[in-house]
Structure 1
Amino acid sequence: MKKKILIIDDEVNIGLLLSKFLGRNGFDVSTVITGGAALDILERESFDLVLCDYRLDDTDGREILIKIKDNYPLTGVIIITGYSDIKLAVELIKLGAYDYITKPLYPDEILNTINKALETQRALNADQAPSKKKNNADSGADYINYTEYIDGTSEASASLLKQIQLIAPTSYSIILTGKSGTGKECVAKTIHMNSLRRDKPFVAMDCGSLTKELAGSEFFGHEKGSFTGALYTKIGHFEQANGGTLFLDEIGNLSYEIQASLLRTVQERKLKRIGSTKEIDLDVRIIVATNENLVNNIGKGTFREDLYHRFNEFSIHIPSLKKRGNDILIFAKKFLAVANQELNKDIRGFSEGVQECLLNYSWPGNVRELKNVIRRISLLTDGREIQVDVLPLELSNGIKNYNHDYHIPLIKTRITDHPRNLKNASQEAEYDAILRVLKEVSFNKTKAAKILNIDRKTLYNKIKAIQADNE
């Protein structure tokens, strides 16, 4: 379902350009030119996000922000203005605005800010939704089941949940470890939602995509004109998260120089924006995540030991999906419910064959891979139950003797088991070529057929023929 955005700007051309740009990027956009018109449409329709110009003919962005937050707290707000005033920016953020952007607007900047605002608002909305509570027998505290967190019944899941319940009420810094796709950000959000900071911002930052040049600005912010290209004052992620939680993903990718700056900020709980002499006090809980072994990185000289110990007040290892046993089916059912809502379908569950395939597959991409697979096979399913014939080839290979026109498992018996002759040698070469290409494209049959310079139907027939020769 498309996210709905309302643009409030009395400059018609800007509203039109923004509307067209955001529409091309998959959003459902409405535009108005006055604050009164905005409040009218908000009474009739719900929006995920509002982009509001600060100066309007009949009011200003501050008043609109206050009314939206009072009456529509589940709607995020970004203020846009042609004037850069850092005091006003801080005031607006304290009043509930996600961010404050100065004109001229740059497409990449505005799109990135919108996506981050929607993600943050989604986390806050989940916290305000009716929540299932579990009694923590160890502490007597109530545990809020954050809607994106999926609790399993396996020993690994029980251990993870117990650690979350233990650490969430504290202000300890935490290191989350685990393979890519295991759900480290989801665990971080769950900890935040069960902390005393739950009403404050949760800000996520991907350190893996940061360059050395941009890292300082992204962490600490900068003043307008502080360096070439600093066309506006920017509030960094630390300041955005003030009072709440800052989640730093892929922390091991930061350069040694940035680690030194980060250590100083974490130790002193103060920061200075680039180009400013004013110190800003910080009250931020820090949760970091990595799929690397930071202790090994310390030995290699690529990660600071003093910074590691600052972060490592508590550590949680998130198990891979394969180690959670039958919890795979619990995750799958949760993702199916989400897919049903997205696709407006009513798929009730999985056939026994599909369940067998889900449990037998190794899931190298972990929870992220499972979620993507469920979304894809839900889209391909027309009935009330997901069948094996819509599974990707790498999953349908997990069920014995399965045969279907569109999902045929590659044979395990090599053609070299038969007497060697030219026909068999040719078949073996063809088998090797098909298998090699399928592996290269992650069993995407359309891509494989294109690389092999044959159509999809011919590819299916060749796999069936090879299988038949080996039966």
Structure 2
Amino acid sequence: MAHILLVEDDLTYSRIVKTFLEKNNFEVTTTVKVKEAQNILNSAKYDLIIADFRLPDGTGMELLQWAKANFPQLQVILITHYSDIRIAIKAMKLGAFEYITKPINPDELLATVKESLAQKTELKSETVPERPHKISKPKSHNPYVLGESQEAQKLEKHIQLVAPTDLSVLVLGETGTGKELISKRIHEFSNRKEGPFVAIDCGALPKELAGSELFGHVKGAFTGALDNKTGHFESANGGTIFLDEIGNLSYEVQIQLLRAIQERKIRKIGGNKEIEIDVRIIAATNENLISQSGEGIFREDLYHRLNEFTLHAIALRNRKADLEYFVGDFLKESNERLQKSIKSLSPAVWDIFYNYDWPGNLRELRNIIKRAVLLSTGEKIEKEALPLELYDSAFLPERSTQSGATFSSNTGGSAINQPASATDYKSQWKEQEKELIQKVLQDTRFNKSKTARILNMDRKTLYSKIEKYGLE
């Protein structure tokens, strides 16, 4: 029987979810705080954490990062409100298996739990690499979509142009725009395609261990270095290394990286032997590295070494002409994973999709499709299978009851009920967002680079919102 740790401070909600999971043959322990959860995980073995994002003494994100650092094979599902979509997407980049939004649909919860535990079982049967890096393997499902919009055609042209060279490439773009997929495509059309493709999320590397993760260490180099370790650069020898969110690397690690690029050699932490490497570097970020270099956060010389060629990943809102291709691909993938046979979207859903801004880009679309496939019973996805917050305010009055029941803490004694009447959550969220941006701008004395970093958004998005809310 799988053992689940549920971290939820709404006690009524926690009791409902616990009862539901136990009825489905899972053993569930509950707690309300991050620190309590850490103590529990240190004292017993668990297969899965389900954690609310907002907790009394911290966040589910903090618990996720701690759990992945201490128990790499432990699966984590994050519970959020839809207004936390950017946070949820970042959580998945940091290693969360999935995020689900409140009000929780019980079928969605159960399917996500089972899928996460099934993946954990698969991982146990494989040789699991240390920490967050992965080497690509051929798959039957190719997630890269060419598309036919002008922007997509231009991007593909540039990919085909730079792929056969050995130039370092910097891929710029918002979170969820498929920067890793672009990097894999460069690798697949390069002369290194037979070599390894090693992808590293620099934002998920523990700061104190980043140098060891990238370059390796020798036994006894520091407390806890019980054996020699091969770093990601050495693992990628003869192939391509992809450094995602490179702006998160500390200044000290940036110096080590610059030396590795210039001399094509690395030295393990605590070692005195230099190791020659033959690696192509592709880096990605949603930050403005030029601005960061001006503020002393990112080395300008490293920036120019990485930026021998620049590609721009396209935000989904700017390539709506390709929406049909992405939907078709994600439908196929979700049908295979969930053993369903949904064929298409209803006209109403297409209308909603084309009018939505998709702040979470492709990653958000993929999760929306998967959730909708799970909830749909006919041949097409109807709007009732979509999250309420996906609707433009013009659609809200037409909103009918949710497909299937949902968990709610306002049950009045009933564990499962239908959602409350539609409210304009979108306008409330916009007002809260405006106030938050305004406060951070004031706190940083209108330093837009610092404001963007604090809010975890790129400068272009920040400028757009400043103009939208009239905050200049």
TM-score, shorter chain, exceeding 0.5: yes
The one-letter amino acid paired with 2:337 is E
Q: Would you say 1:328 and 2:288 are equivalent positions?
A: no
* Number of residue pairs matched by the alignment: 316
In structure 2, do the counterparts of structure 1 residues 294 and 201 end up closer, same or farther at CA, with 3 Å as the change threshold?
Answer: same
- Please say if residues 353 and 399 of structure 1, whose CA atoms lie closer than 8 Å, have aligned partners that are also in contact: no
Q: Would you say 1:231 and 2:223 are equivalent positions?
A: no
In structure 2, do the counterparts of structure 1 residues 405 and 267 end up closer, same or farther at CA, with 3 Å as the change threshold?
Answer: same
| Aligned with residue 272 of structure 1, among 229, 252, 267 | 267
The one-letter amino acid paired with 1:307 is L
The one-letter amino acid paired with 2:362 is V
Q: Would you say 1:214 and 2:209 are equivalent positions?
A: yes
- Please say if residues 272 and 279 of structure 1, whose CA atoms lie closer than 8 Å, have aligned partners that are also in contact: yes
For 1:188-337, what aligned pairs fall within 5 Å after superposition? Answer: 188-337=183-332
Note the alpha carbon deviations across 1:108-151, whole angstroms, 9 max, x for none.
x5xx57xx5xx53xx3213xx6xxxxxxxxxxxxxxxx922111
What is the deviation of 1:247? 0.5
- Please say if residues 212 and 258 of structure 1, whose CA atoms lie closer than 8 Å, have aligned partners that are also in contact: no
CA RMSD, Structure 1 to Structure 2 (Å): 3.4
- Please say if residues 172 and 311 of structure 2, whose CA atoms lie closer than 8 Å, have aligned partners that are also in contact: yes
Once the two structures are aligned, what percentage of the paired residues are identical?
A: 45
User: In 1, Cα distance between the equivalents of 2:265 and 2:223?
Assistant: 25
What is the deviation of 1:256? 1.2
In structure 2, do the counterparts of structure 1 residues 215 and 162 end up closer, same or farther at CA, with 3 Å as the change threshold?
Answer: same
The one-letter amino acid paired with 1:124 is K
What SS does the aligned partner of 1:225 have? coil
Map of 1:125 onto structure 2: 138
In structure 2, do the counterparts of structure 1 residues 387 and 273 end up closer, same or farther at CA, with 3 Å as the change threshold?
Answer: same
What is the deviation of 1:268? 0.5
What SS does the aligned partner of 1:124 have? coil
User: In 2, Cα distance between the equivalents of 1:446 and 1:50?
Assistant: 32
What is the deviation of 1:274? 1.4
Larger radius of gyration: 1
The one-letter amino acid paired with 2:117 is G
What is the deviation of 1:19? 11
What is the deviation of 1:455? 8.6
| Aligned with residue 26 of structure 1, among 97, 117, 131 | 117
Map of 1:12 onto structure 2: none
- Please say if residues 326 and 359 of structure 1, whose CA atoms lie closer than 8 Å, have aligned partners that are also in contact: no
What SS does the aligned partner of 2:304 have? helix
- Please say if residues 270 and 281 of structure 1, whose CA atoms lie closer than 8 Å, have aligned partners that are also in contact: yes
Report the TM-score when normalising by structure 1: 0.61
What SS does the aligned partner of 1:233 have? coil
| Aligned with residue 360 of structure 2, among 365, 371, 383 | 365
User: In 1, Cα distance between the equivalents of 2:421 and 2:292?
Assistant: 50
In structure 2, do the counterparts of structure 1 residues 348 and 400 end up closer, same or farther at CA, with 3 Å as the change threshold?
Answer: same
| Aligned with residue 170 of structure 1, among 154, 165, 168 | 165
Worse-matched range after superposition: 336-345 or 200-209: 200-209
Map of 2:420 onto structure 1: 460
- Please say if residues 154 and 326 of structure 1, whose CA atoms lie closer than 8 Å, have aligned partners that are also in contact: yes
Unaligned runs of 5+ in 1: 1-16, 31-47, 52-76, 79-97, 100-108, 130-145, 409-443, 465-471
Whose relative contact order is higher, 1 or 2, with alpha carbons under 8 Å and at least 6 apart?
2
- Please say if residues 247 and 287 of structure 1, whose CA atoms lie closer than 8 Å, have aligned partners that are also in contact: yes
Report the TM-score when normalising by structure 2: 0.61
User: In 1, Cα distance between the equivalents of 2:341 and 2:328?
Assistant: 12
Unaligned runs of 5+ in 2: 1-44, 49-70, 76-115, 425-472
Note the alpha carbon deviations across 1:36-61, whole angstroms, 9 max, x for none.
xxxxxxxxxxxx7786xxxxxxxxxx
What is the deviation of 1:270? 0.5
User: In 2, Cα distance between the equivalents of 1:29 and 1:369?
Assistant: 23
